[in-house]
Structure 1
Amino acid sequence: MTDTETSRPVGSILRDWRERRRLTQLVLSSQAGVSARHLSFIETGRARPTSAMIIRLSECLEVPLRQRNTMLLAGGHAPAYPQNRLPDAPMSAVNDAINRILDAHTPYPAVVVDRHWELVAGNPAVDVLTAGSAPHLLEPPVNVLRLSLHPDGMAPRIANLGQWRGHLLARLQREADVTADPDLAQLLDELRGYPGGEEADATDTAALLVPLRIRTDAAELSMFSTTTVFGTPRDVTLAEIAIESFYPSDSATAEFFRR
């Protein structure tokens, strides 16, 4: 769903999300505590839902906050979730917390990305990963996935490119499916067109973690990553931010970063 969908009836948008989540009207109505008849009336436009009803249904459907605002506008209501930039005063505490997390993770790499995987912030150790990448890929806005898999980016130095590429594409596919974001779908198509390894390598179920193995002038580094998101966010920007932190997979990599 896109922000331009406010011109569509709210019932039609709700139906699309219900079908995307593969729920019947009976199941969704039971979860939301409304009658299946009333839900059917909402979807067909015979009943106008209140803002509270739209929020309740969107929570059951796990609709992202940005798209919940879209549905509220489509239903003739004001958005319920603010959207502040990180430098704005209401986000100062969050911005400080993010900077502390990045600093605390040093000497290992960590980045902050938005909903489209564009770089919001990073610590100095990220330079180890991006060294040698083409300047045009490092000009803002930097897309972290594009930088990783582009043949002029990190890709030539990734020793297990097929496995890492498959891992990233599978993750992006899941996010595109869950959010229905056309920009993510477009990014997925772009990245699939890049050369480099077989995606099937990422289906190795014997591996508990998919490592990133990247070559440097000094050594081949092996790392795994974790994703941190903020719990129960009520701001659109905050809900769409993730912190990707890399940790050494072996003692040699740990020693490299400590030096």
Structure 2
Amino acid sequence: MSDVGVLLRQWRTTRRLSQLELSSQAGVSARHLSFVETGRSQPTRDMILRLATELDVPLRGQNELLLAGGFAPAWAETSLSGPRLAQVMSSLRDVLTGHHPYPAVLIDRHWTMIDANEAIRPLIDGCASWLLEPPVNVLRLSLHPAGMAPRVDNLAEWRTHILHRLGQQATRTADPVLRSLHEELTGYPGGTVQQTPDGLVVPLRMNGLSFFSTTSVLGTPLDVTLSELAIEAFLPADATTAAALRGD
């Protein structure tokens, strides 16, 4: 098989689509798709992008497909510290600041902390210093026995939620780093529970406080780096937590 054919087949298999289903969605013949996957036919740049769109391949993965097919990447990948992203990064930090007194962190595709507001400090107090040395992985910090885990009141429930979410993300993105992280975190102690739909959200309970989280991403990113950023924001799950964080 050609390199691009191998990658396309992997993405199709990950998305659990048959050749017939994908070809129908993309408006190409199943025979031609089969030839592409086996290397008997070389896809055009437009064909690669069309198939990638139907497969919901992230921008980084689309670039990898194009490179494997012998084409230049379609999407730029800009440094977070470069001048081109300065205004966007400034605005994202404004969002973090504006979320105070509630905790919020800016993360990349591997859950590495890019920035955080001051309200995050009470949550990470008591964590081992080496876990707080950059690059800080917020999921490792959350579940590691030397991190937040000893102070998480509902650790088994929270751990189950984190592992399930990370596992889904690793499958959707086909990212080996996320798969490795999932394997690492699975080995940490803390137990799991059978989650039932009797509540509204899975809370994070710490130090007598209770939070639920929201995830915000850029709506129309045209840059690989920006497409992989997210703000994980925590909100009070009860009136007691809200009052405590506001200092009422």
What TM-score bracket applies, with the shorter chain setting the length?
over 0.9
**Structure 1 residue 97: deviation in Å?**
1.6
How far off is 1:134 after superposition? 0.5
Which position in structure 1 is the counterpart of 2:193?
A: 200
SS in 1 for 2:162: helix
Q: Is the 8 A contact 1:32 1:56 kept in 2?
A: yes
Matched, 1:24 2:10: no
SS of the residue corresponding to residue 102 of structure 1 reads: helix
8 Å contact 1:9–1:75 — kept in the other structure? yes
- Name the SS for the 1:199 alignment partner: coil
Partners of 2:215 and 2:150 in 1: how far apart?
24
Q: Aligned Cα RMSD in Å?
A: 1.3
1:223 paired to 2:211:
yes
Task: Give me the whole-angstrom Cα distance separating, in 2, the residues matched to 1:15 and 1:131.
Answer: 46
Identical positions, percent: 55
Query: Cα distance 1:24–1:136, how it changes in 2: closer, same or farther (>3 A)?
Result: same
Aligned partners of 1:166 and 1:200 also within 8 Å: yes
Q: TM-score when scaled to structure 2? A: 0.96
Residue equivalent to 1:244: 232
5 Å-filtered alignment, 1:153-192, equals 153-192=147-186
39-48 or 158-167: bigger deviation: 39-48
8 Å CA contact 2:153, 2:206 repeated in 1: yes
Shift of 1:108: 0.4
Query: Structure 2: how far apart are the matches of 1:12 and 1:162?
Result: 39
- 1:66 corresponds to which letter in structure 2? R
Determine if the alignment matches structure 1 residue 71 to structure 2 residue 65. Answer: yes
Residue 210 of structure 1: aligned partner: 202
Is 1:91 the counterpart of 2:85? The answer is yes
Separation of aligned partners in 1, 2:81 and 2:176: 27
- What does residue 45 of structure 1 align with? 39
Query: Residue 92 of structure 1: CA displacement?
Result: 2.0
Letter in 2 for 1:204: T
Query: CA–CA distance in 2 between the matches of 1:97 and 1:53?
Result: 36
TM-score, normalised with respect to structure 1: 0.92
Contact 2:2 2:37 in 1 (8 A): no
Give the letter for the 2:197 counterpart: T
Matches of 1:87 and 1:114, distance apart in 2: 13
| Alignment pair present for 1:60 and 2:54 | yes
Deviation at 1:8, TM superposition (A): 5.8
Secondary structure at 1:125 match in 2: helix
Deviation at 1:89, TM superposition (A): 2.1
SS at match of 1:112: strand
Moved more, 135-144 or 7-16: 7-16
Contact 2:2 2:38 in 1 (8 A): no
Q: 2-side partners of 1:171 and 1:153: how far apart? A: 19
1:149-203 CA deviation, whole Å, 9 max, x = no partner?
Answer: 001100000000010000000000000111111111111111111111x3124x1
Letter aligned with residue 226 of structure 1: T
Cα deviation for residue 23 of structure 1 reads 0.8
| The 10-residue stretch of structure 1 (167-176 or 35-44) with the greater mean CA deviation from structure 2 | 35-44
For the 8 Å contact 1:86–1:94, the answer to whether it is kept is: no
Query: Quick one: distance in 2 between partners of 1:199 and 1:207?
Result: 17
Whole-angstrom distance in 1 between the partners of 2:87 and 2:205:
35
Q: Does the residue aligned with 2:127 lie in a helix, a strand or coil? A: coil
CA distance in 1, matches of 2:84, 2:46: 25
1:90 shift after superposition? 2.0
The count of residues paired between Structure 1 and Structure 2 equals 247
2:8 match: secondary structure: helix
- 1:102 Cα offset (Å): 0.4
Q: Which runs of 5+ in 1 are unaligned?
A: 1-6
Cα shift readout 1:220-257 (whole Å, capped 9, x = no counterpart)? 11010000011131111111111000001111111111
